[in-house]
C-alpha cells in the first residue's frame, strides 16, 4: 500500500507540474492562480485514488470469484484481470488515458502484495 501512495504522489507531482505551467500562463492574479493550482492538484489526486480504489476492488472481486471456482490465480492471470478491469473502466469513460496508464502500471506493481494475500 505504501508503494501505491508513493506512486500517487509521483503521479500527482507530474500532473501538477503540467497544470502549474498552464495556469501560470493564464491571465489571472497570483491569488487566483495559486487557488487554481491547489484545486487542480486535489482534483487529480482524488481522481487517481478513486480510480485505483475502484479498480483494486474489482480485481479482488474477480480473484475471489476465480478462487471460489477452484482456479489458481498466478501473475499472468492477475495481469489479465487488471487489463479486463481497466478496459471496463475505459468503456464506461470514467478514466482519462493518462490515469489509465498509470493505474495499470501501479496495479502490476501490486502483484507481490496480492500474491501474499492469495497464499493466506
Tens place of pLDDT per residue across the chain (120 aa): 556 556 666 766 777 677 666 656 666 677 887 888 888 888 888 888 888 999 999 999 999 999 999 998 999 999 999 999 998 888 887 777 777 888 888 899 999 888 888 876
What's the confidence (pLDDT) of residue 78? 94
CA distance 109 to 59: 14
What's the confidence (pLDDT) of residue 44? 80
CA distance 1 to 43: 21
What's the confidence (pLDDT) of residue 37? 80
What's the confidence (pLDDT) of residue 56? 93
All three cell numbers of 24? 501560470
* Of the candidates 90, 81, 89, the residue with the CA atom closest to the CA atom of residue 110: 81
In total, how many domains does the chain have?
1
pTM of the entire structure?
A: 0.65
What's the confidence (pLDDT) of residue 40? 81
All three cell numbers of 81? 484481470
What's the domain range around 70? 2-118
Amino acid at each position: 500500500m505504501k508503494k501505491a501512495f508513493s506512486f500517487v504522489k509521483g503521479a500527482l507531482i507530474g500532473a501538477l507540474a503540467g497544470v502549474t505551467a498552464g495556469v501560470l500562463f493564464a491571465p489571472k492574479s497570483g491569488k487566483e492562480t495559486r487557488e487554481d493550482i491547489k484545486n487542480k492538484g486535489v482534483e487529480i489526486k482524488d481522481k487517481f485514488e478513486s480510480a485505483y480504489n475502484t479498480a483494486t476492488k474489482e480485481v479482488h472481486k474477480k480473484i475471489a470469484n476465480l478462487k471460489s471456482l477452484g482456479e489458481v490465480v498466478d501473475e499472468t492471470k492477475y495481469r489479465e484481470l487488471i487489463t479486463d478491469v481497466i478496459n471496463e473502466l475505459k468503456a464506461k469513460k470514467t478514466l482519462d488515458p493518462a490515469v489509465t496508464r498509470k493505474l495499470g502500471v501501479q496495479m502490476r506493481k501490486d502483484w507481490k502484495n496480492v500474491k501474499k494475500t492469495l497464499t493466506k
